[in-house]
Amino acid sequence: MRAAPLAVTALAAALLLTGCSGDNDSSGGDKATASPDNGTTCRIGAMDVEVGPANVAPAAGDTGNIPVTLTNQSADCTLDGFPGVDLKAADSSASLAPAQGATATKLTLAKGTAATFTLTYTRGEADAGASLDVTTLEIGLPGADTRKSFKWSYGPVQGKGGKAADPTASVGAFTQAGD
């Protein structure tokens, strides 16, 4: 009689391991990678991503803040590092650095739980050489290869030192959202 429970246990383990492979899934091919606590790296394709509502910078020189909330829709996973954020314009793009003084914390997200981070930017003048006329916001997670794109509707971003390719913008660390 012990053969049946052992067979069921073996089948369940095989199915569980098959479900964790991450190969060629709908997230664009990110592979779930092992992390030191035996969890998996969170994948953007397994997240419900909400951008905003934003505290939009109304005029050139003003600062705006855009919260981004990621809700895990899959198995437990880990965020370890900073989000990867690129601002894309028609003919150029720029990757954002972490906010000055920000410290990355390692978060484990169970299915249905959320984390958030904030993108802060200074609005630039439209069609100015010192501003990046952003059209798309691209977000990726640490340790994963794929990204999700979102329409940018917050105006141009001011460049540092008159250089549009070096935007005055940064990303904050992940924090646990909710209760």
All structural domains of the chain with their residue ranges: 32-177
Nearest Cα neighbor of 155 from 120, 119, 118, 124 is 124
Whether 102 has a pLDDT exceeding 90, the answer reads yes
**Residue 118, pLDDT score:** 97
- Going by pLDDT thresholds of 50, 70 and 90, the confidence category of residue 80 is very high
Whether 44 has a pLDDT exceeding 50, the answer reads yes
Which H or E run includes 9?
helix 3-19
pTM of the model: 0.76
Task: Determine contact, residues 119/80, Cβ cutoff 8 Å.
Answer: no
pLDDT in tens, 86-95: 999 988 899 9
* CA–CA separation, 130 and 60 (whole Å): 11
Whether 36 has a pLDDT exceeding 90, the answer reads no
**Residue 11, pLDDT score:** 32
pLDDT in tens, 124-178: 998 888 999 999 999 999 999 899 999 999 999 999 988 888 999 999 999 998 7
